[in-house]
Amino acid sequence: MAILALKIMKKLILIILSLIIVLLVIVFLLNPKGIYQLSDNTAKFIPQQAIPKELVSLKAEDCGVCHSEIYQEWQTSLHSKAFIDPFFTAYLKKDKGDPTYLVCHTPLLNQSPVILSSESVDYPDTWGALKSIANPDFDPELQKEGVTCAACHLKDGIIYGPYKKGSLDAPHPVAYDEKFLKKSLCQQCHEVPSKDFSLMNEGVCSTGMESNSGLWSAKGFVCQDCHMSPVTRPLMAGYPAREGRKHLWPGGYSNHQLQKVFSRP
């Protein structure tokens, strides 16, 4: 009797093991391309940007000569640490320098040591076979700045911002871009698409999706409302005060931000 029970047990264990193996194979077949796949909406490297002739460099420090308060705020934010943050560097090492990470952590092509062959074509599904050539205009200093001022504000020699045309008196070309008032600016990076069974559905990379499905988004809140608090001050010493926003981007590491979760406006 005991021997019969043992035999049945053995069979059962075998059946369960085979079922698990079949399930794993199915999961693998459904998701053969790694943890996530890039969609067309995902950010790509911003093409190489020349230094506008009115400025001395693209470095945040040099913007900070005039925009000193914003520069000091940015310096304390994770955006300025996006390339040197140890959590990120550990991940980058683990995933063998996956260039998809760099598209958001060092978004300007000026910040990339290599130009990927995919810059001219579309992103392929796998990165292993990618060819790359050395980037002759690579700026290692700018690379360390991660999500730097120019990544959000500069395009083809013009500094874009939230103010309507004609209202400013700036030493560099300026233009209004409505994306500064919308969440689309943030979503190009904070909305890394993921596949089923992905580990990337939560956290810094995909907060966009999380936020979009929430109550606050339905009420019309954009990312800036909660992550860039409003402030009225001059953009540069000696200029008139204007309505703008702080460049601190508090997140999951900020006590104050976490406390806000429990207090309704």
* Interface of this chain with ligand HEC, residues 82 to 141, rule: CB under 6 A: 82, 85, 88, 104-105, 107
In the complex, the smallest distance separating the C-beta of residue 119 from ligand HEC, rounded to whole angstroms, is 16
Binders of ligand HEC in range 166-205 (CB under 6 A)? 168-172, 174-176, 180-181, 183, 185-190, 203-204
What are 201's two structure tokens? 């559905």
* Residue carrying the six token digits 């936020």: 211
Task: For residue 47, state whether it binds ligand HEC (rule: CB under 6 A).
Answer: no
In the complex, the smallest distance separating the C-beta of residue 124 from ligand HEC, rounded to whole angstroms, is 21
Task: For residue 45, state whether it binds ligand HEC (rule: CB under 6 A).
Answer: no
Among positive and negative, which fits the CA dihedral 218, 224, 227, 231?
Answer: negative
The only residue of 38, 102, 109, 151 in contact with ligand HEC, by rule CB under 6 A: 151
The only residue of 38, 78, 116, 142 in contact with ligand HEC, by rule CB under 6 A: 78
The span of 7-15, 25-33, 119-127, 149-157 binding ligand HEC (CB under 6 A) equals 149-157
Using the minimum distance from each CB to ligand HEC, give the nearer residue, 115 or 235. Answer: 235
Task: For residue 221, state whether it binds ligand HEC (rule: CB under 6 A).
Answer: yes
In the complex, the smallest distance separating the C-beta of residue 38 from ligand HEC, rounded to whole angstroms, is 14
Question: Cβ(101)–Cβ(91) under 8 Å?
Answer: yes
Beta-carbon neighbour count of residue 15 at 10 Å?
A: 10
Nearest Cα neighbor of 185 from 220, 222, 142 is 222
What are 7's two structure tokens? 């035999």
What are 146's two structure tokens? 């991660």
Single-letter amino acid, residue 115: I
d(CA 71, CA 66): 9
Single-letter amino acid, residue 166: G
Q: What φ, ψ does residue 19 adopt, rounded to 5°?
A: -60, -45
Binders of ligand HEC in range 228-257 (CB under 6 A)? 228, 235-236, 239-240, 242, 244-245, 247, 249, 251-253, 257
Using the minimum distance from each CB to ligand HEC, give the nearer residue, 80 or 135. Answer: 80
Task: For residue 153, state whether it binds ligand HEC (rule: CB under 6 A).
Answer: yes
Count, residues near ligand HEC per rule CB under 6 A: 78
Beta-carbon neighbour count of residue 92 at 10 Å?
A: 17
The span of 5-13, 18-26, 30-38, 227-235 binding ligand HEC (CB under 6 A) equals 227-235
Using the minimum distance from each CB to ligand HEC, give the nearer residue, 7 or 260. Answer: 260
Rounded to a whole number of angstroms, the distance between the first and last alpha carbons of the chain is: 70
Nearest Cα neighbor of 77 from 14, 23, 149, 8 is 149
Using the minimum distance from each CB to ligand HEC, give the nearer residue, 10 or 164. Answer: 164
d(CA 242, CA 211): 29
